[in-house]
Structure formats: structure tokens, C-alpha cells
């Protein structure tokens, strides 16, 4: 039976940090603040996968109070979600995500992001969708104070 989960994440943009999205370092004057590398795309996908399996969220598995996760690449979080799928006797069917940011333009990096996500999850590139949209200059995202991501994932689970 196919189970579906959703994920959402948002982090503020700050000076002095690299901007990492989908495991890709993107040239930008600001990066995302967070305990790990603050990759909102991978965080949203991780939560979607964990939700599809009926598990706790990313904060349960990787609490931001644990120094082990300080500065870690979020790819590790996706790899753990993939391990959880195997442990649950599930199979990741697909993931689809949308980044929400006024800047930088994401399209030139989408294929590299899809490749990184697919490798971390052990699935085909064709089963990973990544899109981008703006917030039409509305709210904190529109003022370029942060970047957000939404994701949906499906996992084929027994019973």
C-alpha cells in the first residue's frame, strides 16, 4: 500500500553562511541559518518521507540540541530516512518538492539537486521532482529574509 507524507521547512537567510540547497552550494551573498547545513530542501523531503512511514519528524531523529548534528550535511538525514524505509520493509516510490525563494534563481541547479537527492535515497533520478517558485515579494520570503521548501513523498509499505 502506498503511503504519502508531506514536509515543510523554512530557515532565515543570514550573512556568513554558505547557501546549500539540495546538497548544492549556490553562490549567494547569504546562506541559511541552522544547526546543520540548514538545507531546507533536504529537510522538507526528509520530513515527507518520515511522515509517509508514520514516523516522528526530523527533529526527533536529529535534534538541534545535539552537537553531533552541528554543521552536518543534510544528505545524512535523507540517508537515514532511506534506511528507515528499508527497516520498515518499505520502498520509496517518489519525492516531489518545491523551493520558495525570490533569489537566487534555482533552475540552473535543479538537475544537480535531483541527482543528490536521488543518490542519498537510493532511487532513480526520474523519481525526484524539484521545482522553484517565488513568493511574489510578499511576506518574509518575498522580502528575501528566508527560503522555504515543501515536499511530498510516497513510500510503498507492507500492509
Please tell me the predicted confidence (pLDDT) of residue 66: 87
CATH of the domain at 57: 3.30.1330.50
Q: Stretch 143-159: mean pLDDT, rounded?
A: 96
Distance (Å, whole) CA 14 – CA 2:
39
Please tell me the predicted confidence (pLDDT) of residue 67: 86
Please tell me the predicted confidence (pLDDT) of residue 159: 74
Percent of the chain with pLDDT strictly greater than 70: 100
Range of the domain at 79: 2-156
Average pLDDT, the chain: 96
Distance (Å, whole) CA 149 – CA 129:
13
Task: Look at residues 90, 92, 101 and name the one whose alpha carbon lies nearest to residue 150.
Answer: 101
> DSSP 3-state assignment of 21?
strand
Distance (Å, whole) CA 128 – CA 32:
23
Residue 150 backbone phi and psi in degrees, to 5: -120, 145
Look at residue 126 and tell me whether its pLDDT is greater than 80. Answer: yes
The confidence band for 6, taking pLDDT boundaries of 50, 70 and 90, is very high
How far, in whole angstroms, is CA 97 from its chain's centroid?
8
Look at residue 115 and tell me whether its pLDDT is greater than 80. Answer: yes
Please tell me the predicted confidence (pLDDT) of residue 64: 85
The confidence band for 63, taking pLDDT boundaries of 50, 70 and 90, is confident
Q: Which residues contact 93 (CB under 8 A, 6 or more apart)?
A: 2, 127, 153, 154, 155, 156
Amino acid at each position: 500500500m502506498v503511503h504519502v507524507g508531506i514536509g515543510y521547512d523554512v530557515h532565515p537567510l543570514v550573512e556568513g553562511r554558505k547557501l546549500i540547497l539540495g546538497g548544492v552550494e549556490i553562490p549567494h551573498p547569504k546562506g541559511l541559518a541552522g544547526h546543520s547545513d540548514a538545507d531546507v530542501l533536504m529537510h522538507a523531503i526528509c520530513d515527507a518521507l518520515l511522515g509517509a512511514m508514520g514516523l516522528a519528524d526530523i527533529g526527533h531523529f536529529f535534534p538541534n540540541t545535539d552537537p553531533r548534528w552541528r554543521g552536518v550535511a543534510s544528505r545524512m538525514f535523507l540517508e537515514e530516512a532511506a534506511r528507515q524505509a528499508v527497516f520498515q520493509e518499505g520502498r520509496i516510490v517518489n519525492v516531489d518538492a518545491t523551493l520558495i525563494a525570490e533569489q537566487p534563481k534555482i533552475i540552473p541547479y535543479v538537475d544537480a539537486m535531483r541527482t543528490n537527492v536521488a543518490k542519498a535515497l537510493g532511487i532513480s533520478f526520474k523519481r525526484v521532482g524539484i521545482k522553484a517558485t517565488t513568493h511574489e515579494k510578499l511576506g518574509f520570503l518575498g522580502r528575501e529574509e528566508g527560503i522555504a521548501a515543501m515536499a511530498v513523498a510516497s513510500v510503498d509499505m507492507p500492509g
